[in-house]
Structures are given as C-alpha cells and as structure tokens.
Amino acid sequence: MTNILKGLKPQSVLNYFEQISQIPRGSGNEKAISDFLCNFAKKLNLEYIQDENLNVIIKKQASKGYENCPGVILQGHMDMVCEKNKSSNHDFLKDPIKLRVDGDMIYATDTTLGADDGIAVAYVMAILADNTIKHPALEVLLTTDEEAGMTGAMNLDTNQLSGKYLINLDSEEEGYILVGCAGGNRNCISLPLEFTTSDKQGMLIEVKGLLGGHSGSEIDKNHANSNKLMGRILHLLNIEYDLVSVNGGLKQNAIPRECDAIIAINHDDLDKFNANISEIQKIFNHEYKASDPNIKIEVSKASYDRVLTDSCKDKVIKILNLIPNGIQTMCADISGLVESSTNIGVVKTKDNVMLFESATRSSVATRKDDINNKIKLLAQCFEAGYEETDSYPEWERATDSKLEQISIDVYKKLTGKEPKILTIHAGLECGLFLKKMQGCEAISIGPNAYDVHTPNEHISISSIENTWKYLLSLLENLNQY
C-alpha cells in the first residue's frame, strides 16, 4: 500500500479507504472485495454472512448501556463505477486505484475514485474495528452491483436482518439528510444491422472534452451527452456519406463524455466535410459554453471493412436524435427536484447489431412507465428489439419517522445548524429494503463528493471527517430516545 492518505483525519477511515482502493471492485467484479470484508470480520471475531450474490452482512453486539436500543443497519455498496480517460491504460480488473491528494480533496489518477461508495465501506470498517465507539446492536450491510442494476439488494434475504433503523451511507452532500429517492430501470434498443460495401474514404469523428456526470444527481446541470451530440452531427452533415459504426459511453448511469463514429465520404467532399464539422463545432460551443466549455469534435482518417445500408443508416440517425434524453418532468410540489429523466448512456456497434442503452429514473412510477413506453414505441417504429431490466422502486418519504427526527436533533446539537431534508433524483437501495422490511425506517447521509461517475470524481477530506463525527454522534445518542 502506498500510504498516500497517511496522517490525514479521520485516519482510521482513510486508512481503510486506501486499503480497499487497492482492490479492483467494479460492478460484477466484487469477489475479491467481498472476500476481503469477510476476512476482516473473521479477524475481529465478528459474525458475518456472505450470500450467493456476494453481499456481506457483519454483525456487532451493542455497547454496554445500548442493549435495549433499536438495532441499526449501516448500509452501503462495495462496487464502483469504472470510468477512465480515453488516454488511460488503467485495467479495472487488476490495477489498484491510484490516489492523489490536492488540498482538501482526494482524487484518482485518470479514473473514477470509487468514493461512491467506498467511503461507506471505510466508515463501517472503522466503526467495526473500534471498540471504544458507543452504539446499539449493529448490522453492517454491504451490497454488490449497486451501480449496474442493484441486483445485490434485489436478491438479498432481508430475513437475515433485524435492525429497525437503516442508515444508508451513499449520499454525496454534507449537511443533507435524504429521506426519499427516485426509482428506475435500464432499457435497451437493439437494432439489427445490414451491410454493404463502399470504396469511399473512411473518416473517424470523435466527440470529446465533455464533463459527463451522474445520470441522476447531475442530470439537471445541462451537461452535454456525447451520444446525442453524435446523432446531431450525423444528421447535420451536408454531404453524401456512408455510416460504418457508432460507439459512445461506458455506463448507462453515467452521462457519456465521449463518442466516436466512422463514416465514409467521397474524396472530393473532404473540404466540405471539414467545413461542416467546423460549423457544428461552433453550434455546440455556443449551446454548451457554460456547462461544457471544452467540447471538441476531432476528425481523422480511418479504415473499415463494410458500411451500413442506407436504410439502416437512416434508422441509426433517427433513433439517436429521437430517443428521449435528459429531464422529462420536474416535481410539482418540491421546488427544483427532478421528477423523471432518462439518459442514453451507451451506444455500441457489436457484430450485427447496434445497442442503445438508457437508464430511466422517476419518483413517480407511472412517469417511469411512460418514458419506457416512448422508448419501446421508438424501437417498434424501426423494427428493433426492446428490453427492460433492473427495475428498482422509488423510496417515498415516511410520515412521522422517528429516525428522521432523531437525525435532525443530533445534527442541530452537534453543529448548531439545521440540516436540509431532501428527496433526490438519484437511485438508492433504501426503497428495495423498505419494501421488504416492515416497520424499518431509513435515512441517507454522506460527505461532499463531486463529479461522481467520472474520472474527475473527488471527495472532501474535511467533509469526510465532519460526516464521521456526525455518524458517531448519531449512533451514540440513539440511547437517548
């Protein structure tokens, strides 16, 4: 281990965060981190459960004087989104995350940091290892595959849990107590491809320099979506051309930052093509001058084997331009809250099919159904396949929640400030658990994290410490209620 975070506070938390940063743990690749957590529990002589989905539950008895308090479930997820800069050679299957510190912030180098939700893992490890911390009976729950579909939480047997209060540690703003979130699902249009030959000059078009971001919590920032921009480019080109492929984005739940397409043009149209691209560049720079000031369209020569038929090319361009994307509705009764949205996160040309993969979210289930139906109808219009997967429920704010009131009181006593109570547009696992666990109450808290799901992801060290103090105070004061 490199000890990049040595000497920073809270030392125990950051030490564990650095340890888990050495373990590859992208969604679907959680065996190593799951086993690591089980071995950690074993060394502490704590009861633990590892289920067939690699979810881990670790149990710790109540501190003296807390035996009669309601049990607490501390919950986060062990997987992370694996995004990197195109120039990076990082292998998420085997390489550790390279941490670096810049002032009050912890970054990775050219990749996502994994603070979403590695900081939760670090918090709970530090609590489990420290016998001086006062707390009720604890059940630490760390799930798998949260970022790719929440299948860990979906398949969890909640009969293994008895806690009444669930504290989720997957939020990204200090001073906010989350009490509700959107539900969502993934969907995919699969367009069968037909090919022909061409003797034109191959050209690679690359859209890059976008900021991207979390497709839930940052969908309201008007960041450009590289896949949608590519659709516009292909529509706006004022020359005859053939289309070879389109590939953009890595994750459905991340606003895509890069997209490339290979086209084939007549040699005589090269100057006109370059002029077209220059004009489109100006359009994008004007539209996104505030939200994505570094948008670039780059072109270069490319080779290819075959091109799409004109009919197939037409379908691709129309799907890219017509597929819903971004905010669909705003909440009528909570000012500034996005009610429903969708993100065309991935487009890829794969053998004889082109895939258009989206993540849809809504705090109102019927709005989510409406968006899904529009995408399904679009697929039907172009004789394409449609699949809907990984549906998870919304988390509705509970009325008269005792845990919510306790968390407010403790925050006010600790900081002298009023916390902000919010429901959010991002998806959390709380809705899944509460559907299964009658009588359980939940909140979600976390430190300030920025640009999650992007290689610029970073987290505030001072906020990690502030949230740590709040979490410990919350646990310690539960015996007063």
> CATH code at 224?
3.30.70.360
Higher pLDDT, 333 or 196: 196
> Does the residue 468 lie in any domain?
yes
Verify that 342 and 454 share a domain, yes or no: no
Last residue of a domain, one of 357, 375, 392: 392
What residues does 4 pair with on adjacent strands?
Answer: none
Confidence of residue 86 (pLDDT cuts 50, 70, 90): confident
Whether the predicted pLDDT of 110 surpasses 90: yes
Confidence of residue 2 (pLDDT cuts 50, 70, 90): confident
Span 110-117, average pLDDT: 97
> Does the residue 323 lie in any domain?
yes
Its pTM surpasses 0.95: no
Confidence of residue 136 (pLDDT cuts 50, 70, 90): very high
Verify that 126 and 204 share a domain, yes or no: no
For residues 238 and 272, is the Cβ–Cβ distance under 8 A?
Answer: yes
The CB density around residue 93, as the number of other CB atoms within 10 Å, is 9
Considering the candidates 83, 116, 146, 441, report the single residue annotated as catalytic: 146
Whether the predicted pLDDT of 111 surpasses 70: yes
Tell me the per-residue pLDDT of 59-71, one tens digit each, with 9 for 90 and over: 999 999 999 999 9
Verify that 196 and 314 share a domain, yes or no: yes
Verify that 262 and 348 share a domain, yes or no: yes
User: Angle 196-200-204 (CA atoms, 0-180°, nearest 5)?
Assistant: 95
Residue 94 burial by Cβ neighbours in a 10 Å radius (0-12, 13-18, 19+): exposed
Q: What is the pLDDT of residue 148?
A: 85
Cα end-to-end span (Å), the chain:
42
Q: What is the pLDDT of residue 426?
A: 86
Give the residue from 61, 56, 59, 111 showing the smallest Cα distance to 86. Answer: 111
> Does the residue 412 lie in any domain?
yes
Verify that 150 and 215 share a domain, yes or no: no
> Does the residue 3 lie in any domain?
no
Last residue of a domain, one of 368, 392, 416: 392
Considering the candidates 18, 30, 79, 260, report the single residue annotated as catalytic: 79
Total domains in the chain come to 2
Q: What is the pLDDT of residue 381?
A: 98
Cis peptide before 117 (omega within 30 of 0): yes
Fill in the amino acid letter for 407: S
3-state DSSP assignment of residue 210? coil
Verify that 164 and 198 share a domain, yes or no: no
Span 458-477, average pLDDT: 98
> Does the residue 176 lie in any domain?
yes
Whether the predicted pLDDT of 257 surpasses 80: yes
Verify that 101 and 80 share a domain, yes or no: yes
Q: What is the pLDDT of residue 312?
A: 98
Please report, for the chain, how many H helices and E strands are present, in that order.
11, 25
Fill in the amino acid letter for 417: K
Verify that 174 and 211 share a domain, yes or no: no
Quote the distance between the C-alpha of residue 139 and its chain's center.
25
> Does the residue 215 lie in any domain?
yes
Verify that 252 and 337 share a domain, yes or no: yes
Residue 52 among the catalytic residues: no
Query: CB within 8 A of 69, min separation 6: which ones?
Result: 62, 136, 137, 478, 479
* Dihedral angle sign, alpha carbons of residues 295, 258, 449, 221: positive
Average pLDDT, the chain: 96
Rounded Cα distance, 271 and 268, in Å: 7
Which letter does DSSP use for residue 267 in this model?
Answer: G
Tell me the per-residue pLDDT of 366-381, one tens digit each, with 9 for 90 and over: 999 999 999 999 999 9
Rounded Cα distance, 334 and 336, in Å: 6
Last residue of a domain, one of 338, 366, 392: 392
The CB density around residue 271, as the number of other CB atoms within 10 Å, is 8
b/e map of 341-361 (b: 16 or more CB within 10 Å)? bbbbbbbbbeeeebbbbbbbb
Report H helices in 201-292.
226-236, 270-287
Tell me the per-residue pLDDT of 292-303, one tens digit each, with 9 for 90 and over: 999 999 999 999
Verify that 411 and 382 share a domain, yes or no: no
Verify that 452 and 345 share a domain, yes or no: no
Range of the domain at 274: 185-392
Tell me the per-residue pLDDT of 28-38, one tens digit each, with 9 for 90 and over: 999 999 999 99
Fill in the amino acid letter for 215: S
> CATH code at 406?
3.40.630.10
What angle do helix axes 226-236 and 270-287 make, rounded to 10 degrees? 140
Whether the predicted pLDDT of 124 surpasses 70: yes
Tell me the per-residue pLDDT of 312-340, one tens digit each, with 9 for 90 and over: 999 999 999 999 999 999 998 888 899 99
Higher pLDDT, 189 or 148: 189
What residues does 204 pair with on adjacent strands?
Answer: 262, 300
Span 214-231, average pLDDT: 95
> Does the residue 2 lie in any domain?
no
Whether the predicted pLDDT of 1 surpasses 80: no
The CB density around residue 273, as the number of other CB atoms within 10 Å, is 20
Verify that 171 and 190 share a domain, yes or no: no
Residue 146 among the catalytic residues: yes
For residues 358 and 343, is the Cβ–Cβ distance under 8 A?
Answer: yes
> Does the residue 5 lie in any domain?
no
